[in-house]
Amino acid sequence: MPTVSAPIDATKTSAWKALAAHHDKLVEEGIDLKGWFAADAKRVEKLSFEAGDLHFDLSKNLITDETVKLLADLGRAVNLEQRRDDMYAGVHINTTEDRAVLHTALRRPKDEIGTVMVDGQDAVADVHEVLDRMYAFAEKVRSGEWKGVSGKRIEHLVSIGIGGSDLGPVMVYEALKPYADAGIDCRYISNIDPNDQAEKLKGLDPETTLVIIVSKTFTTLETLTNAREVKAWMLDALKAAGAVDGSDEQNAEAIKKHFVAVSTALDLVAEFGIDPENAFGFWNWVGGRYSVDSAVGLSLIVVYGPERFQQFLAGFHAIDEYFQKTPLEENVVALMGLMNVWYVNFFGMKSHAVLPYTQYLHRFPAYLQQLTMESNGKSVRWDGTPVTSGTGEVFWGEPGTNGQHAFYQLIHQGTEVIPADFIAFVNTANPAKDGDQDVHELFLGNFLAQTKALAFGKTADEVRAEGTPEQIVPARVFTGNRPTTSIFGDTLTPFALGELIALYEHITFVEGTVWGIDSYDQWGVELGKQLAKQITPAFHDDEALAAQDASTKGLIEFYRKHRK
């Protein structure tokens, strides 16, 4: 197995230096999107790309032909293509955990069985073995052949998981709602806050409910606590409904019919009492936040069906292939990652908005927050040395048009410049008319208006020409030159959604590679977990309380005083 060489310090490369000089020159001459558009009739054509069935317009970014060339040079200077190929081939690029990073193998079609061997195993064959089992299971549930313990068909799923075992499934569940066709819905429980579970279980009929426990490690505090509680709820509720008599034998039967699990730790699943027949595995080479297209997506296969899931996987694969086969200068996936580096490291922009113009993608920014920030929010490189530049911008967002009436003010006129990705689709699942007005067009008009306003702004003279009193002219000026990328698709299909997810996975990879980061570990989540274990007893135990720092002690004393 090839080993991973030490990261190249991007800041020491001639490509980085050339980018720094190019940046300074652009700033000195004046960043001027309006002027750049006027000076180059081909700007849009040159900065528009097609990847899979998505259309990308990068023209409203703070880049020129020269920037694109230099960004591609930077990619080559840090061996981006080699590292990408290493990742696709199963090299252990996750160095701190000594693991391969093979989410791309999850979506390779059956005819690619045999192409990716990882630690002596045929990864693609393993993937399809589990997919086929999941498809068969999902068909049984969807057709009603799978019955609850009292013989009723399943109408509701409860999926228990957190982080990568929740954010992806929830986001896709919400995004693909128009495709639900089996009369089965899903509620997702993630938070250890008992309020989450209480609200999600409200009104559920246990006899028609199937619970999916999703946890890569099957040790996560939140998920295991919720799983035990839901198991108790299910057995009590089934007994109250007269579906079981509460005997061990009937309870075991109920668990068999109402609980399935998804994990890499199938031994722990069995220990929990779940029949191994009802357990679906994945592998340590799938990172939690890269796992929605693995068995972690089981709830989606049940709700939307195997065919739709196959289309979803095909979308990922289309972008994987595009990313691997397209030269860097023309590779919009790589360029979007490199452009993020351009904004973070050369312009000092610290956040990045993702603004979907479809309500169905309302959980997409939240999903991206884990994908991007758990991956690249790091200060050391993959060989343990400190990073040599800023890393990990904050990703955030909300769907338009809602965001327009909330935080867009800051994007348009704030002192921070925030690059933004706008995502929209030509067709909608729910066409609507307001009189003669097509409401979807009204919606899309807003998407286009926002990117136009951000790019080209409004000058003081234009404001004055509208008859604005002089003293409020400055408040009504828009500087423009606020960068946006427009991603336009035909329809938000399962295929298009797979494409979008793969796009951001690879953007994250590109940024991590330039920064020399292992984007696939997450040690930064560990300390809080350890401390929570140590602190929790202090709510009742004086010795544990005495061991805390003064602030924690004060807060626990407040708790003790007010606990009802």
What is residue 175's three-state secondary structure? helix
**If binding is defined by CB under 6 A, does position 281 make contact with ligand F6P?**
no
**If binding is defined by CB under 6 A, does position 226 make contact with ligand F6P?**
no
Q: Which stretch binds ligand F6P (CB under 6 A): 215-223, 335-343, 355-363, 397-405?
A: 215-223
Which is closer to ligand F6P, CB of 264 or CB of 451? 264
**If binding is defined by CB under 6 A, does position 163 make contact with ligand F6P?**
yes
Q: Which stretch binds ligand F6P (CB under 6 A): 189-197, 217-225, 309-317, 381-389?
A: 217-225
Are 99 and 89 in contact, with CB atoms under 8 Å apart? Answer: no
**Site residues for ligand F6P, window 178-207 (CB under 6 A)?**
none
The rounded distance, in Å, linking the Cα atoms of 341 and 514 is: 8
The rounded distance, in Å, linking the Cα atoms of 241 and 234 is: 10
Percent of the chain that is helix, strand, coil (3-state, to 5): 55, 10, 30
CA-based nearest residue to 337, from 83, 5, 6, 14? 83
The distance of closest approach from Cβ of residue 128 to ligand F6P in the complex, given in angstroms and rounded to an integer, is 22
**If binding is defined by CB under 6 A, does position 168 make contact with ligand F6P?**
no
Q: Which stretch binds ligand F6P (CB under 6 A): 209-217, 315-323, 351-359, 532-540?
A: 209-217
Candidate residues 7, 148, 164, 169; the one interacting with ligand F6P per rule CB under 6 A: 164
Helix (H) / strand (E) element for 263: namely strand 259-263
**If binding is defined by CB under 6 A, does position 372 make contact with ligand F6P?**
no
Are 203 and 209 in contact, with CB atoms under 8 Å apart? Answer: no
**If binding is defined by CB under 6 A, does position 412 make contact with ligand F6P?**
no
Which is closer to ligand F6P, CB of 451 or CB of 508? 508
Which is closer to ligand F6P, CB of 523 or CB of 559? 523
The distance of closest approach from Cβ of residue 314 to ligand F6P in the complex, given in angstroms and rounded to an integer, is 25
The distance of closest approach from Cβ of residue 230 to ligand F6P in the complex, given in angstroms and rounded to an integer, is 15
Catalytic residue IDs: 374, 405, 529
**If binding is defined by CB under 6 A, does position 215 make contact with ligand F6P?**
yes
The rounded distance, in Å, linking the Cα atoms of 89 and 477 is: 52
Structure tokens at 262: 């998804």
Which is closer to ligand F6P, CB of 163 or CB of 512? 163
Sole residue written with tokens 């799983």:
227
The rounded distance, in Å, linking the Cα atoms of 411 and 198 is: 38
**If binding is defined by CB under 6 A, does position 310 make contact with ligand F6P?**
no
**If binding is defined by CB under 6 A, does position 216 make contact with ligand F6P?**
yes
Collect all residues with Cβ–Cβ distance below 8 Å to 146 and sequence separation of at least 6.
Answer: 137, 140, 153, 154, 210, 257
Sole residue written with tokens 């994990």:
263
**If binding is defined by CB under 6 A, does position 103 make contact with ligand F6P?**
no
Alpha helices per DSSP H over 157-276:
167-175, 194-201, 221-240, 248-258, 266-271
The distance of closest approach from Cβ of residue 218 to ligand F6P in the complex, given in angstroms and rounded to an integer, is 7
The rounded distance, in Å, linking the Cα atoms of 71 and 75 is: 6
Which is closer to ligand F6P, CB of 270 or CB of 547? 270
**If binding is defined by CB under 6 A, does position 440 make contact with ligand F6P?**
no
CA-based nearest residue to 335, from 61, 105, 45, 151? 61
The rounded distance, in Å, linking the Cα atoms of 230 and 254 is: 13
Which is closer to ligand F6P, CB of 149 or CB of 212? 212
Q: Which stretch binds ligand F6P (CB under 6 A): 84-92, 170-178, 213-221, 347-355?
A: 213-221
Are 328 and 80 in contact, with CB atoms under 8 Å apart? Answer: yes
Residue numbers of the site for ligand F6P (CB under 6 A)? 162-165, 215-217, 220, 223, 288-289, 374, 522, 525
